[in-house]
Structure 1
Amino acid sequence: MKNIPLYCLAAASMALSFFFETTPSSSGSSSSAPIAAEASLLSLFSDEDGKKHDVPANDSAAYDYYGQALGVNLTHTENKDLLRTVLDWIGTPYRYGSNSKKGTDCSGFVTRVYQEVYGITLQRSSRSMFSSVKHVSKDAMETGDLVFFRRGPGQPIYHVGIYLKDGKFAHSACSGGVMVSSLNQQYYHRNFYAAGRVETN
């Protein structure tokens, strides 16, 4: 019962966050990245100490749990270890050059998730990752594929995330840390460059 006020505050916070999708940059540029408007509902599944509750043991209930928390419709065939690991990282603050739960940048988040889920050591930078994956078309993306971003033709890749489902991907954004965002958001739609698949076998 003592957690009810906490859950109510978390729900209110999530509802309000959808009204604020971008944060103004210090230079007044319109290209600032969206803030955590699409962050997961992870806070609703945590107790006062931030310890996450156990995921349901039943497969169907577990997929429902992950789908609700990550904001995607799952087919119950996705890699549950990937979903669980991504969910565990949601809310981690952004920290350039780091890759721990105390703070991580985009490529640090991706490398840690791939190491934890698949035992694969990826290149540390988003540009290096792009050169080592199998490129796939946007309409052929699958859960676990990597999505890459650049700021226009001829510009270098500057950001990477992990594709989930329904146009959603998990990433560590400098304006909000590890969150789930949509490729349909104007910022990401404009800067999306390519998708790549890591051979996990």
Structure 2
Amino acid sequence: MTSKQTTAITGFVKKAYLEYFGMRLGDQDKTWAPHTVCRSCVENLRQWTKGIRKSLSFGIPMIWREPQNHISDCYFCMANISGFNAKTKSLIKYPNLHSAIRPVPHSIDVPVPKFTNLDVISEIDDCETRDSLIREDKDFIPCVLSRSNSPQLFNQSELNDLVRDLDLPKESAELLGSRLKKQTCFSQKQNFTHIGTERSNF
């Protein structure tokens, strides 16, 4: 399956998966577990939640377990997909292993579920999902916020220290103070003072 045929595991995917199969999509902290899902399966789940599609083609999803070895219990090692193309991919034979149990179609014993709602995952799960995405995002820069999430204003002393650290000339320091006031990052009660070599007030 190519990267164009897969998509990330989102909060919707987790909720719809639990609602349809009655089990959580787990083991996302394990390296051996898939961390992407089939794009067409996600779309089918989305259509099921909207009442457009009656069901998926299977009622029990692929069950993944940690493989015991790479000779007789590794799904990716034993699946021979070389030499096939878009027209012949239906001829590929995928193994059914202890570590990778193939999906089971709907039947009398595996009935089609009825959609109710997606309010089946707690806020804690959603927070864990966000935390996981943040940990995986190499470009994420943590930001420390106050408990009230309100902006922390510069006072006179802090702003003077910033100007001194940046070694700003008088004109640049004045512009900085003006912009901070407009963005409500500097207390309106404070009189901006440039502390540099001149130590003069505006």
TM range (shorter): under 0.3
TM-score, length-normalised on structure 2? 0.21
| TM-score with structure 1 setting the length | 0.21
